[in-house]
A and B are shown apart, each in its own frame.
Chain A
Amino acid sequence: MARTEILTGNYAVAYGAKLSRVQVISAYPITPQTSIVEKLDEFVESGELDARYVRVESEHSAMAACIGAAATGARAFTATSSHGLMYMSELVWWAGLGKFPLVMAVVCRALAPPWSIWSEHNDVLAHRDSGWIIFFAEDNQEVLDLIIQSYRICEDERVLQPVMVALDAFILSHTSTPVSIPEQSDVDGYLPPPGSRRKPFILDIENPLTHGNLTYPEYFMEFRYEIEKSMNSARRVIVEAGRRYGEITGRYYDSLVEDYRCSDADVVLVNVGSSSGDAKEAVDLLRDEGYRVGLLKLRAIRPFPFEDLRRICDGKRYIGVFDRNYSFGYGGILHCEVSSALSGIKVPVQGFVGGLGGRDVTVDNYVNIFKTLIDMADRGVEPKPPLWVGLREVV
């Protein structure tokens, strides 16, 4: 029987990794590190988790150690956040472009300056092109569930790419809620035996090979094309993994997106991460007032859910995109992606930016966003440059 405990998002990650029977954990224990790796250290120390815990001297080395472990076929895990991820960046790309299946939790935080410890998505999105599968969690249950599913997805022979699970700093990472923890035997039946993976290759002194060596232009592009093929396959594998996960837990995640009351909606807002629940409450409030609005939560942003997005948004009067990130000189990153993905479908797309550096995003904010979209649809106006939600008067 699964049991339910009150867990922070950080501990939900740690329990997910433990249940996945990770074999190597590598981490650099300094701010902006989180209690994820502290809890895992406790599990290893107490003997509850049979894993090698490697305390390295930087995030860069943390990822290097994970890559080394994954290269031997071991199940590897690390966690980081904001500046830690940026310091790790070179090796994050190495892991993605080198097809090393491993899982990393990223507690999303704003990058400095000015200094911040609170949530923003630019740290993760700076790595959106690095060959990692990227999930954003809405709540602590989804955090735990995603970690477990991520090992099944990344080790699937059709995928063999690393997975990042993003959770919002404090809003999930330090907030405690009830979380259902699956039975170990169920997870054991769900995941391949740890260390059983033999593809795309494993290091073996009896059969030496080189990997990642200098590659001339006449072969290089094919390596990139292989990653894109994996990403395309991952769409199906993610759905299969989520469906199978539902069979053991009752919690089905059988889509790259979550469609909340979109089917008969006039106006749909696209959102990721922890504020999606607040947005759903806004949808319910407005539905009670007769407004036909819906929320489309993107669970995965890599691979990007083109088909779901186009299917759900087709025929709507107006689409909004809420970004907890910013690309200076352009606008919201997801707004850019959604607009591009919807090209050819005649629907206007308005960008909204908010929640930067942990600025609280409320149900009232979402009510106003939906009302703005309805008003723009009614007046038939073209989208404007991104609207900044909750911005103070500029001082």
Chain B
Amino acid sequence: MPFIPHTDEDIRAMLATAGVPDIETLFDEIPADLRTTDFDAVPPGLNEMEVSRLLQERAAQNRPTVCFAGGGAYQHHIPAAVWEITSRGEYYSAYTPYQAEASQGTLQVIYEYQSMMTALTGMEVSNASIYDGASALGEAVLMAVRLSRRGKSSCVLLPATVHPAYRQVVATLVGDQGISLQEISYDFGSGVVEPETLESIQKDFAALVIPQPNYFGCLEEVDTLTNWAHERGALVIGVVNPTSLALLKPPGEWGEAGADIVCGEGQPLGIPLASGGPYFGFMACKQAHVRQLPGRIVGRTVDLESKPGYTLTLQAREQHIRRSKATSNICTNQGLMVTAATLYMALLGPQGLAQVATACHANTMALVKRLTALPGVEQVFEKPFFHEAVLRFPVPASRVLSVLGQGGVLAGVKLEQAYPELNDTLLVCATELRNEEDIEFYVRELTAALAG
């Protein structure tokens, strides 16, 4: 098969069908002044040696930046063994391993991943991952509405403290499926959804989404919120940061009955920050809801000789068998990312993950304490936080970002675009990677910026 899309003969055939003699005539209606044939900005081709030299020069322009930005993507230490093993040829396959003949090794990795995710979230079942955290929440919303079919409500309560990008993705995914999303506002003093706010909600709803920690880093009152939703016959969808679960109560134990569906972004578990991807979404739920969980599930069984074997189960719900009745048609399994996450969790163990979480929290506490000691810098919300906090500055947030950026500090994430009331604020984050010296560096740079 030729890799050239169309041959001269193809082009002649297409032009004949369109009824024009040549390509120039085809483009006739485009005004001449809009067309350009002279691409000054595109340099001529280079050979390998020249390209190599050019890229080295460009790479040298990158300056190391100390990262204090989070907002859904976090810089953590990744043990070298994680990607050393993940990028072995056996795992580095080119395609989502959904086929029944997928190797036992791949299936076992996914099985281990599912087991660890259920342990971490306190839930009964986990799928083998999904595209990313935002789409996992979209799928969770769709799943909750399917489950509440008997309740006949297709409204889902979505607090403003959920990641703004996630809310946009969810709106896009479910907007044309007859599902309505009702935003729940947060309390401007505490930065969380105050349970009293919910009392004004009279109408039926299928589910309440609860972020923990929320986008501002604050800890929501998950037990109260969970019970409130369950008392009204609705489901609870938890959106959680996996690192935080090493310290916080797992969603399976929220309130009297626990969350029904749990999802989130798996990036903190061994996936590097790489200009926004690839990431993976995780989804877990109660056993009773497993039939509505999108994506793949690997099960463990024994063969006729009692040897353990792993197999894809519940495939009848998958799009290649069930087509229009599939639970989802975009449940892309991020196999390679999941392999890395499985290795990350296995290498750290529950204790290691708890150490990471504890260090993140302690470092962010230290950062906030040092920064708020500077004149005019204050913590916006009074609630406890995990490893992020919102700070207000006496100068515009974009100025803080640009001045500190020039000095080599990535100072945080600006909130103003999604939350106009939070102008002059930054969401700051310190993971286990930020030591005393880094925090000192931030303080020094900010002091200079405020003085200037």
Say whether A and B bind each other. no
Please report A residues at the B interface, Cβ cutoff 8 Å.
none
